[in-house]
Amino acid sequence: MTTSFVTTTDGLRLAVHEFGRPDAPTIVAVHGFPDSHHVWDGIAAELGDRFRVIAYDVRGAGESDKPRGRKAYHQDQLTADLLAVLDAVSPSEPVHLLAHDWGSMQSWDAVSTPDLAPRFASFTSISGPSLAYASRWLRGRGHLGASVRQVLTSTYMAVFQLPVLPELAARAGVIRRGAEKVGGYDPHRGLAETSNGVNIYRANVLRQLFSDEPRRTLVPTLVLVPREDAFSSPPVASNAPVGWVDDLTVREVDGGHWVVVRDPATIAAEVAAFVEAHLPVAGKRKARR
């Protein structure tokens, strides 16, 4: 693994970690909260013999800079951060985007922006539905049961809107223990809990839930749905993007919210198959060498 740093449009430094083969097709992985790039370690190890895997620490996490206040975590800035990474690691070729949890929720903005869509050859979303798509689907008819279940599992998002309390909970280890008990996180993997990350929710959740008409995406998209996910309701994850993604594949997998850590081999196999199906001929030769 090699580590470099990218400067964002507002002057912060993001830590960018590279695994695998430098000459192979590029996968860029975006982690969620409360993780760091280490959530991808197992998957990067599985994919490294066929692909170049880039995993960066999002602002507020890992080795990247940690600004305070919600304004620094607004969706527009998160998208700009992703583009800064793309400009550094693959300025002229589209990448295959892989994202989990809030990393996925924030990535929907980039893949559904018409001017940015050509930067992505494919998108794999795990446990992180678009809030705009989810909001529209949950408000539809016949979804009462799924709506109630998702509201109950998303209570923590409402709590994160409160001042001070979430930061105190993070420092006291409450978020870590909840992730282990409810979400199935492996405590031995070193959860990268940080109080800064709650500002992602403060800056974006309400704004995106009540946004204007969601944008469609032309980027080929694979949605992996863990059957036992305690935070992202499988019916919502499976159905919310339908009608908004022109080239959509939905696959259920066994496991909970952190299946990316618990079963990296299964997730890596799904990702590799989808990426290889969306490579140009030259890229397919590189991936199989």
Domain ranges of the chain: 2-288
For the segment 220-233, what is each residue's pLDDT rounded down to a tens digit? 999 999 999 988 88
pLDDT above 80: residue 83: yes
pTM: 0.86
What's the Cα-to-Cα distance from 189 to each of 36, 176, 180, 186, 193, rounded to whole Å?
A: 11, 11, 11, 6, 12
Q: How confident is the model at residue 188 (pLDDT cuts 50, 70, 90)?
A: very low
Cα atoms in the 13 Å half-sphere on the side-chain side of 268: 19
Q: Pick the closest to residue 72 from 81, 82, 63, 84 (CA basis).
A: 81
Q: Pick the closest to residue 209 from 261, 157, 173 (CA basis).
A: 157
Domain 2-288: assigned CATH number = 3.40.50.1820
* Residue 226 token pair: 């863990």
Backbone angles phi, psi at 287, to 5 degrees: -65, -25
Q: How confident is the model at residue 122 (pLDDT cuts 50, 70, 90)?
A: very high
pLDDT above 50: residue 190: no
Q: How confident is the model at residue 152 (pLDDT cuts 50, 70, 90)?
A: very low
- Angle made by CA atoms 30, 159, 196, in degrees to the nearest 5: 45
Contacts of 36 (CB under 8 A, 6+ apart): 57, 61, 62, 63, 192
pLDDT above 90: residue 143: no
For the segment 24-73, what is each residue's pLDDT rounded down to a tens digit? 999 999 999 888 999 999 999 999 999 999 999 999 999 999 998 889 99
Q: Exposed, middle or buried, 178 (CB in 10 Å: 0-12/13-18/19+)?
A: middle
